Amino acid sequence: MVKSMPLRSEVKTEETWNLQDLFKTEEEYDAAIIDLVKEVDAFAEKFNGNIKDAKSVIEALEGFAAVYEKVVPVGTYTSLSSSTDQTDDEAQMRSSKFGSTAAKINSKLSFVNSQLSELPIDVLEDAMKQSGDFKNYLEKLIRKKEYQLHPEVEKTLAAFSSTFAGPYGLYNTTKMVDMAFDDFEVDGKSYPLSYVSFEGDWEGETDTAKRRAAFDAFSAKLKDYQHTTAKTYDMHLQTEKTTADLRGYNSIFDYLLFTQEVDKSMYDRQIDLITKELAPHMRKYAKLLQKVHGLDKMTFADLKISLDPTYEPKITVDESKKYIDDALAIMGTDYMEMVDRSYKERWIDFAQNKGKSTGAFCSSPYGNHPYILISWTGSMNDVFVLAHELGHAGHFYNANREQNVFNARPSLYFIEAPSTMNEMLVANHLLENSNDPKFKRWVISSIVARTYYHNFVTHLLEAAYQRKVYERIDAGGSVNAGVLNNLKRGVLEEFWGDDVEINEGAELTWMRQPHYYMGLYPYTYSAGLTISTQVSKRVLEEGQPAVDEWLEVLKAGGTKSPAELSKMAGVDITTEKPLRDTIAYIGDLIDQLVVLTEEIEANETANVSQ
């Protein structure tokens, strides 16, 4: 039974994260902002107009790094304190106030990149030779030189940064504050509904009548807000298109892929190959779910059910640590110390409460420890999600220690590899520990339903839809709710064919995902999982040497391109092979599920007849 969500003030403290590691008091936070503004002013006064040679380039970047390191905890505290309760007026006002302050800071600091870009390349190269710390930063700056605008224009654009971020804030407010779900009824009985309970519980509910009724009620509420949400999204898209045009990029795709350090062919390959070659495997999986559950038809609302719900254990937060410790132990003592601290020192927000951001994320502020947000429901799915977010934490725990603030963060294309790697390690560990057909089927179905469905299907279909949206925007068009619904429905129907009925409400799935406000992000999940699937196979086959190489990749942070980082881990993503191998691996897992199901059903039939 799904209970109504408690208020944030009603949840247990031990289930929440401890933001006092960033700032002990509100006064300390306020003082940090005052100091930051003063430091920015002093930095600008010293260096604005005075970056002229290699020596002053290095000095300016040292000062810039020091300022940036002070921006990070303030921004992180502001963001995290509002993400756990979007209904908290104080947190929302704090967030809005800091947004304005940050925009002013960005505007004052915009001169750094503008003046560095105007220097001759030989001066920048000389600075690189004198200081390896800033080589990576300056190489990226040289690459971006042709898209840099006049310093005054850059300053103005930076001043508008909080305004440009407005659509994302509006999306979250609509979703987490304004959207209130009514109870839904099945056979005369009422059941509570919320964003978190739908995505955490009802979507996987084994009772078909309740699951489909919850889907219908959830979709009906989304529909009430479709026009506002579409207008909000269009505003965001038009801002990106205008920026791409202003900066002189050939297309909005070139603009959004530029910082990812991959070309459009790698982006397209990820979407096209998976859409074409994974679809038959996933349709087979959908038909298996339909058969096992005895469904009259397979609908979009049924795709998240567990293959064997009777085998699904309830897992407490404490129990999750044992699973994760055992699975990730191969990563070594330093990594496991990080995992241990994350539980003990309250780096993780487990609570379920009203107004909390949906899904899960990891924030890894430079100079501090990571923070993880998750809403714990007690399913095996949560263990995979937590392992995933600890993968991000372990990545930046390593990168932040080894690299300076400019070098720690890798391309978005690579960002999901360390997280999905941990999911693979959990899956592999579980598979190694039993030959019981039911347990084996449960583990493999968890891998397919959680790791691969989520990253290779859900996010991939978002990416296929997102590409159609951007093609329309790039051609000078705009979008509204009708257009977005049609595009989303078309993508779902193409992938699932006649094997899954795309029922009414499925087309509104575009309203559920904040990733659309983060550039070309959704496709990177499958890119990261392609890399981690291949690396996890190496770990299984080669053991410690493969782990050691992977830890070196984590420490490298953003000092190399995604292709170079993958190569360090023994994977060549410049070819189709890793992706094709991963799709084949998913197909093999689904074939195993079919065989195991037949074996289990045959055993059950034999036992009944005895």
The span from the CA of 162 to the CA of 140, in Å, is 24
Structure tokens at 38: 């003063």
Side chain identity, residue 512: R
* Confidence grade of residue 292 (pLDDT, cut at 50, 70, 90): very high
Give the helix ranges, DSSP H, for 87-134: 89-109, 111-118, 121-130
> Would you state the structure tokens that stand for residue 486, as one six-digit string?
């049609």
d(CA 304, CA 449): 7
CA dihedral of residues 537, 543, 546, 550 (deg, nearest 10): 90
**Tens digit of each residue's pLDDT (9 = 90 or more) over 408-439:** 999 999 999 999 999 999 988 988 877 788 88
The residue-averaged pLDDT of 283-291 equals: 97
Q: What is the pLDDT of residues 425-479, one digit of tens each?
A: 998 898 887 778 888 898 899 889 888 998 889 999 999 999 999 999 999 999 9
What pLDDT, on a 0 to 100 scale, did the predictor assign at position 439?
85
Confidence bin at 87 (pLDDT 50/70/90): confident
The fraction of the chain above a pLDDT of 70, given in percent, is 99
Is the model's pLDDT at 3 over the cut of 60?
A: no
pLDDT at 609: 65
The confidence band for 610, taking pLDDT boundaries of 50, 70 and 90, is: low
pLDDT in tens, 498-550: 999 999 999 999 999 888 999 999 999 999 999 999 999 999 899 999 999 99
Q: Look at residue 2 and tell me whether its pLDDT is greater than 50.
A: no
Give phi and psi for 407, each to the nearest 5.
Answer: -100, -5
Residues in the chain, total? 610
Q: How much is the mean pLDDT over the chain?
A: 93
Handedness of CA 262, 373, 326, 597 (dihedral sign): negative
Q: Which uninterrupted H or E stretch holds 84? A: none
Domains detected in the chain: 8-163 (1.20.140.70)
What are the tens digits of pLDDT across the range 340-394?
999 999 999 999 998 898 889 999 999 999 999 999 989 888 999 999 999 999 9
- pTM equals 0.87
Placement of tokens 């959207």 in the chain: 179
Confidence of residue 161 (pLDDT cuts 50, 70, 90): confident
Q: How large a percentage of the chain has pLDDT more than 90?
A: 83
**pLDDT-derived band at 84, boundaries 50, 70, 90:** very high
Using 50, 70 and 90 to split pLDDT, how confident is the model at 493?
A: very high
Closest listed residue to residue 459, CA positions, set 403, 409, 415: 415
| Poorest-pLDDT segment among 179-183, 196-200, 278-282, 581-585 | 196-200
pLDDT in tens, 93-121: 999 899 899 999 999 999 999 999 999 99
| DSSP string over 151-194 | HHHHHHHHHTHHHHTHHHHHHHHIIIII--PPPEEETTEEE---
d(CA 350, CA 372): 9
pLDDT at 45 over 60: yes
Separation between Cα atoms, residue 251 and residue 470, nearest integer Å:
10
Q: Hey, is 346 helix, strand or coil?
A: coil
Question: What is the mean pLDDT of the segment spanning 205-212?
Answer: 95
